[in-house]
Amino acid sequence: MDAPRHLLSGAAGVDSVDLDACMGPARVVDVGEVGSIGSELLSSLLSPVACVERLLLKSRCSSGDPQARHPTFPALEPAAAEALLRAGLVLLGVDAPSVDPADSQELPVHRTLLEAGVVLLENLWLAGVPPGDYELVALPLKLVGCDGSPVRAVLRTLPSR
């Protein structure tokens, strides 16, 4: 988990992350083999986008060896991050090493989401998790002043209504 302090000087550490954002209904979406994740792709996969507060993006990073490094991975485009913010996103999880491209120096997606208080989870392992709606619990360790923390992310199938 990345806390705002991960990039923003003087911002809150992981011990101040809103735990309500880390627990609750979540949607897993498979973005497939794309090179980047734009707002058009998200709109086509989420209907409507506004109904998702916690979103987990599954990609090719969740296949193969869980210890493998992914030098290229699908990252969010800044416009997609802004669209998710407008829709009320409180948590974004990805199976990639970052929400920004590997060669990004400015990290615009990190900055946009962390400034807005969105909780970021990276390096999730979503192999065997079909797209759909779940209950997510992903609590950080209470590491005072730290910019990030490991989490044990758990998805539970929602009961049928």
Q: Which residues are catalytic?
A: 6
- CA-wise closest residue to 137 among 159, 115, 119: 119
Give 15: exposed, middle or buried? Use CB within 10 Å, 0-12, 13-18, 19+: middle
Asked if residues 81 and 112 have their Cβ atoms less than 8 Å apart, the reply is yes
Residues constituting the chain: 161
